[in-house]
Amino acid sequence: MTRIEEKFLGKVNRFHTAFAFRGQEDASWKLHSSAVRRLVRDTDRIALNTPRFRSIYANYHSYELIEPARTAGFDIEDGRTISDLQLLAKLQHFGAATGLMDFTWNPLVALWFACAAGAKGDEDGKVFVINLNDPMRWRRVPNGNETQNAADIFLRHDDVPLYWEPMAPSEASARIIGQRSVFVIGRPLIPDDAVVEEIGIDSCDKTVMRRELVDIFEVSERSLFRDVHGFSSVNRAVSPIRLMLDPDYYLMRGNSFYQQGEYNKAIESYGRCIELAGDVREPYFLRGNARAEIRDYAGALDDYDSAQGCTRLYLNLSRSPQIINDPETCTILYNRGNVKAVSGDLQGAVADYDRALELDLHGYLAESILFNRANVRTELRRFEEATEDYTRAIRIAESRGRNAAKAYFNKGNVLVLCGRFSEALQCYDRLSQFPDSSAADNRANAALLLECIGNARFTCQVDESSALGESLTRVIVKVAASAMNADPFKPLFQGNAGNTGNFGGSGLSGGEGFLGRMGFVVEVSEMPDGPSLETKMAKAEDIIGRYRNTLQVLAK
123: nearest Cα among 198, 197, 206: 206
Mean pLDDT within 445-458: 83
Query: Any residues with CB less than 8 A from the CB of 110 and at least 6 apart, and which?
Result: 21, 22, 23, 103, 104, 127, 128
Mean pLDDT within 154-180: 74
The span from the first CA to the last CA of the chain, in angstroms, equals 136
Contact 431, 403 (CB under 8 A): no
**Strand spans (E) along 391-518:** 458-462, 472-480, 492-494
Quick one: pLDDT at residue 279?
A: 87
Quick one: pLDDT at residue 512?
A: 54
The whole-angstrom separation of Cα 533 and Cα 459 is 13
pLDDT tens-digit map of 56-93: 899 999 999 999 999 999 999 888 899 999 999 889 88
Instruction: Quote the mean pLDDT of the chain.
Output: 83
Q: Where are the domains of the chain?
A: 3-233, 246-320
Instruction: Kindly report the CATH class assigned to 246-320.
Output: mainly alpha
Element (H, E) at 551: helix 533-555
Q: Give CA separation, 491 vs 106, 241, 474, 488, 504, in Å.
A: 84, 61, 11, 10, 40
185 DSSP 8-state letter: E
Contact 172, 92 (CB under 8 A): yes
What is the pairing mode between strands 139-140 and 162-164? parallel
Query: Any residues with CB less than 8 A from the CB of 8 and at least 6 apart, and which?
Result: 107, 111, 127, 199, 201, 209
Mean pLDDT within 368-380: 92
Looking at the predicted structure, is the pLDDT value of residue 470 above 60?
no
Chain centre distance of CA 360:
21
Looking at the predicted structure, is the pLDDT value of residue 320 above 50?
no
Mean pLDDT within 493-518: 70
Quick one: pLDDT at residue 227?
A: 47
The whole-angstrom separation of Cα 365 and Cα 360 is 7
pTM here is 0.68
Looking at the predicted structure, is the pLDDT value of residue 544 above 90?
no
- Is residue 555 very low, low, confident or very high in pLDDT (cuts 50, 70, 90)? low
Highest mean pLDDT among 101-105, 228-232, 549-553: 101-105
Mean pLDDT within 284-308: 93
The whole-angstrom separation of Cα 355 and Cα 361 is 11
Helix axes 263-277, 247-259, angle to 10 degrees: 160
- Is residue 13 very low, low, confident or very high in pLDDT (cuts 50, 70, 90)? confident
The whole-angstrom separation of Cα 85 and Cα 322 is 44
Quick one: pLDDT at residue 230?
A: 47
299-303 long-range contacts (CB < 8 A, ≥24 apart) are 300/335, 300/336, 300/339, 301/336, 301/339, 301/340, 301/343
- DSSP string over 208-254: HHHHHHHHTS---HHHH-----HHHHTTSTTSPP-----HHHHHHHH
Chain centre distance of CA 489:
49
Chain centre distance of CA 510:
8
Quick one: pLDDT at residue 127?
A: 97
- Is residue 468 very low, low, confident or very high in pLDDT (cuts 50, 70, 90)? very low
